[in-house]
Amino acid sequence: MPPPSLQPVSRLFLKWRRPLAWGFGVLVVLELLYNTVLATGLLATVINRSAKNLKVEWSQAWSLVPGDVHVRNLKLRNEGAPGTQWQLEMEEVEVDLALFSLFRKQLRTESLDVRGLHVRIQPGTEEAGAEKPRSPSSSNSKSEPWELLLHAVRVQEVRVLEWTNVSLTGITEATGSLELLPRQRISAKDVRVRIGPGQFAFQGDAVASVEQGSAEFTIEAQRQGADDGIDLITGVKEGRLQFAVNFPSLEELQPLSPRFPGIPLRGGKGRIDAELHVKEGRLAMGTQLKGSGEPLVVPLGALRLKAPWRFHSDVYTQEDGSERLGLKLTLGPVRLEGKAGPPLETPELLVLMGAKAPRLGESLPDVHLELHATRSHPLELKMLNAWLGPSFQVQSGLATLEVSSQANPEKGSGTARLALNTEQFQAHWGGVLMRGSAHLNATALKPVGDRHTVTLHGSRLDLREVTVRTGQDGARGWDGTLAFPEATLTLSPLTFKGRFTGSFSNAVPFVTLLTHKGALPKLLSPLLTANNLSLSGTVSLGEEGAKVSQLYAKGEGLEVRGKAESAEGAPRAVLLVKVSGFPVGVEAGANGSHVQVMSPFDWYKKKTGEPLN
């Protein structure tokens, strides 16, 4: 029998023993039920049935203390319209879960620690003319969806972040909060990301190495209408991304430039330092990119361009308050090499570009592009594999290139208009001097479904106030226009084919150059002036050289038909020339020229295989 002093305590214990046992039993049962719900995935099933577009699953989940949950291989997947989806895969999760929030159809956490995260984001694309799928509004839904309120999130060891075809590794830590109401809103606040050494990849292939970086952003995205999805990009209210990358070759970055898929780039090893500021889904003030690299190599048919590069880009505000993205690309010294002859060389080329600050994930909507050869360093060119000799030299002052582009989403194509104007060009070809001005206007159309072909129908080149001077002859005034009713530029491999027509004040420059280089006998020169000259034919330029066929020219007292080609630095031309009705055959080649007086029509037909009408 207990001492008298312990009797009240014993009676009290005996009085509450049964309720305490029942209470403890209830807690054990609830804990067992709680763990059963977690272990069997019953909670995930309830959430998934309620949230039609949100899928939650895990492989293991348990709790030793109510509210403190341990989860293995947790996956959250959300699918929107049209084609938008994102997925979070977490290897290990420790979460402080607010249990009573479950009764309000909320999955709310007081803290969430994640180790091992894989993020996949697919913004989705909407086809032109496609009808938007109707999504039921919350008022018409049979039940309200579950809401995810993930507070005090801390993530370590982010395995990979994938955004469509682009992926990034090396994210060491991320913190912030995420709130999600499926098909209604997404909110990410105070997100901070730290990036260590990693890799930047496209379609699984590494294209650059990341030294370090950081990011901060806030997302507030809501559905705007009953038939609209959530615009995740516009929902990026404020963001900043800073990183430094090194890449072994510009060729590795080529897939990131879908506008120029067929122009191969080699070399150009370099570095890019970037600080991107985003506001309302667009690049904003404070954005700066700069980089430089070793010489890049660009094959251009039979030629090859080689030049080291550097660039600077930023977002600035215009007088009207609009924000523009500017880029300054400097190439220099530039060297253009061919299979024969001396190289083209110029100390520096400068490319300036301006466009409306783009929306993330979109191409530049309107572009103004200028190309300059600096006044202090005139542009000096040597054209290789020219038909009539490998030593064609061009010297120019300032050249300006203006490009405007316009997309046509309905047809899936785009149109660009190009205008190139030279204040004055000066060309030397042996002892021949040419001077004048050139104006090029071209319209480029990218056909639907063809990434490697651009049509240039209707392009036009105007030459004005051109003079030709040799050691013996004085200057002669000359004008001309060359048009391409049909023309096609293929990017891979780089080739140009087209049909051309032209009208010129006379044939003096052509005849002077041809006879001076020995392609035509000098005795014919005085007979070939041909005022009011018109011509037509087809041209092909590519890796194998240049070819002109179906050439036909007619002027006062002159008619010419034939073909010409240049390959491996050996030009060749076969012509049938009529001077004042008198026909002769002319063949020009590496070994000189030949004039066929006897039976020129039969000779020409045998040489070319072309019928004479």
Which domain range does residue 108 map to? 14-125+144-247
Would residue 19 count as lying in a domain?
yes
Comparing 164 with 89, which gets the higher pLDDT? Answer: 89
Mean pLDDT lowest among 5-19, 241-255, 376-390, 392-406: 376-390
Would residue 379 count as lying in a domain?
no
The helix, strand and coil proportions of the chain, stated in percent and rounded to the nearest 5, come to 15, 55, 30
Residue 186 has pLDDT above 80, yes or no: yes
What's the pLDDT at 64? 78
Would residue 69 count as lying in a domain?
yes
Q: How far apart are CA 401 and CA 438, in angstroms?
A: 12
Would residue 111 count as lying in a domain?
yes
The model's pTM is: 0.62
Q: How far apart are CA 497 and CA 486, in angstroms?
A: 8
Cβ burial 282-294 (10 Å sphere, 16+ → b, else e): bbbeebebebebe
Q: What's the residue count for the chain? A: 613
Would residue 459 count as lying in a domain?
no
pLDDT confidence bin for 140, thresholds 50/70/90: very low
Number of domains in the chain: 1
Read off the pLDDT of residues 188-210 as tens digits, 9 standing for 90 and up.
999 999 998 999 888 888 888 99
Read off the pLDDT of residues 481-516 as tens digits, 9 standing for 90 and up.
999 999 988 876 778 899 999 998 887 777 766 665
What's the pLDDT at 18? 62
173 Cβ contact list (under 8 Å, min separation 6): 154, 155, 156, 158, 193, 194
For residue 217, the Cα-to-chain-centroid distance in whole angstroms is 25
What's the pLDDT at 607? 87
The answer to whether 442 and 417 have CB atoms below 8 angstroms apart is yes
What's the pLDDT at 377? 45
Mean pLDDT lowest among 505-514, 518-527, 529-538, 568-577: 518-527
Would residue 23 count as lying in a domain?
yes
What's the pLDDT at 1? 53
The SS3 assignment for 288 reads strand
Q: How far apart are CA 445 and CA 222, in angstroms?
A: 37
What's the pLDDT at 388? 34
The answer to whether 249 and 272 have CB atoms below 8 angstroms apart is no
Would residue 527 count as lying in a domain?
no
Average pLDDT in the 215-233 region? 77
Read off the pLDDT of residues 346-381 as tens digits, 9 standing for 90 and up.
777 777 778 888 887 666 656 655 656 554 444 444
What mean pLDDT, rounded, does the chain reach? 76
Residue 474 has pLDDT above 60, yes or no: no
Residue 337 has pLDDT above 80, yes or no: no
Would residue 93 count as lying in a domain?
yes
What's the pLDDT at 384? 35
Strands 106-122 and 147-163: parallel
45 Cβ contact list (under 8 Å, min separation 6): none
Residue 129 has pLDDT above 60, yes or no: no
The SS3 assignment for 197 reads coil
Structure tokens at 491: 């990017």
Read off the pLDDT of residues 454-473 as tens digits, 9 standing for 90 and up.
888 888 888 888 887 766 65
Q: How far apart are CA 267 and CA 538, in angstroms?
A: 35
The answer to whether 401 and 369 have CB atoms below 8 angstroms apart is yes
